[in-house]
Chain A
């Protein structure tokens, strides 16, 4: 089962930084401490919780490189020198910090980290540098819209019942050798083709509202749930509403039409099943 999603950066040959979903750091740290102490006690590894030490903000958008370049010193940010998934220590607004080229929004994006005591200074420098480009702070609702359009999962999909395969992450698992969870991930019940798998959903009537929790049923078998909508949003880039859903054998259903039903709202919506990567499926933006 997937416990969490986050990023891992290698800051030095033997120094790694792991980020987690908001408020899930204690769970992940406990999980890693358990394995370090009980399963792999011979490993020379030390874990420290630095969640309160660092303030980190995303700078996202097609011109984010220009803004980041204005506040970061000591790092060549050109696409060749600092590609997607690069990480480096850096001086940010005069403070010793770190820069990462990672993106949860699906846009070209960077994340800048400074010790929390210097957060306001770095934040202000970013806003000042972005002023000519009309930079604006964005909140969780905007981020949610961006990540749903892009098919990025979060708590609604990482619900404790979903495996890497269910969410389309199978290629991120180690190909050779052992890893924690390998044996379990090969159990019949966790590889069954009719498991709930992540897909995208769009209403055929584009303006029709989607709801989280809409039950998905086949047009001719309306009392058997095939899955449900986990996340939904009015789209900015696409016409109308878009959503993510967990659907039985979902990856085999791309192009199918299902009915979304919410009996307590007395709503019925005709939906098409699409790839969860509804925007920029080739990931051209994050690599620009």
Chain B
């Protein structure tokens, strides 16, 4: 499990928010990109708004720290319970996802470091490409539906779902 925090910048304050995050050791990437630091992951699929994944702490603690850090420049909200996070890996994982994904997942088009929001199997999905596989985020209340879809779609490809994301596992990745 991971703590998930959404941070967003007020009008024309994105650069200040980037500096504040930088001081906390977090790089806020450009839209459509994901960045991995030692124990945190950040991605951007909306202008001036980022999702951060950090190791799980007590309820809301990570969000509260960010809220205090970015007050007057933006806002932070806890989405740890609001989004399910899965790490998808395997030789044909892009082929599995493409069964319901309208994004072009060809590595030439959607290489490591890319992030995008889309709809798969009727529900909202955020995909980010890490060196070791893909990170998938989806609203928690419909996550079971997507998980069942994923499990049944992946079965003929010889893939089986494993545990939910731990940030340590994901952040073991480093982009070259």
Contact = CB atoms under 8 A, between A and B. Distances in A.
Interface of A: 15, 42, 44, 46, 48-55, 95-96, 114-118
B141 A117 contact: no
Interface of B: 1, 6, 8, 10-11, 58-60, 74-75, 77-83, 139-141
A50 to B, nearest CB: 6
29 contacts: A42-B11, A44-B10, A44-B11, A46-B8, A46-B10, A48-B77, A50-B79, A50-B82, A52-B141, A53-B77, A53-B78, A53-B79, A53-B80, A53-B81, A54-B81, A54-B82, A55-B81, A95-B59, A96-B58, A96-B59, A96-B60, A114-B59, A115-B59, A115-B60, A115-B78, A115-B81, A116-B140, A117-B80, A117-B81
A53 B11 contact: no
A13 B77 CA distance: 16
A42 B81 CA distance: 32
A50 B8 CA distance: 14
A53 B82 contact: yes
Contacts of B82: 49-54, 116
Contacts of B11: 42, 44
Given A46-B10, A48-B8, A52-B141, A118 B78 contact: no
A116 B58 CA distance: 13
A71 to B, nearest CB: 15
A233 to B, nearest CB: 28
Contacts of A50: 77-79, 82
Contacts of B139: 52
Contacts of A48: 6, 8, 75, 77
Given A49-B82, A50-B79, A55-B81, 9 more contacts: A15-B75, A46-B10, A46-B75, A48-B75, A48-B77, A50-B77, A54-B82, A115-B78, A118-B59
B74 A46 contact: yes
Contacts of B8: 46, 48
B154 to A, nearest CB: 24
A108 B136 CA distance: 43
Nearest to A49: B82
A160 B79 CA distance: 32
Cβ-closest 7 pairs across A and B: A53-B82, A116-B81, A52-B82, A115-B81, A117-B81, A52-B140, A44-B10
A15 B77 CA distance: 11
A52 B140 CA distance: 6
A118 B140 CA distance: 13
A95 B60 CA distance: 9
A114 B11 CA distance: 30
A118 B81 CA distance: 9
Contacts of B1: 117
Contacts of B81: 52-55, 115-118
A101 B26 CA distance: 39
B32 to A, nearest CB: 20
A11 to B, nearest CB: 11
A50 B60 CA distance: 13
A31 to B, nearest CB: 18
A17 to B, nearest CB: 10
A66 to B, nearest CB: 25
A51 B83 CA distance: 10
Nearest to B9: A46
A49 B1 CA distance: 21
A117 B59 CA distance: 9
Contacts of B60: 96, 115
Contacts of B140: 52-53, 116
Contacts of A53: 77-82, 140
Contacts of A51: 82, 141
Q: By CB atoms of chain A within 10 A, which of B59, B60, B81 has the most?
A: B81
Nearest to A89: B60
Contacts of A42: 11
Contacts of B79: 50, 52-53
Nearest to A114: B59
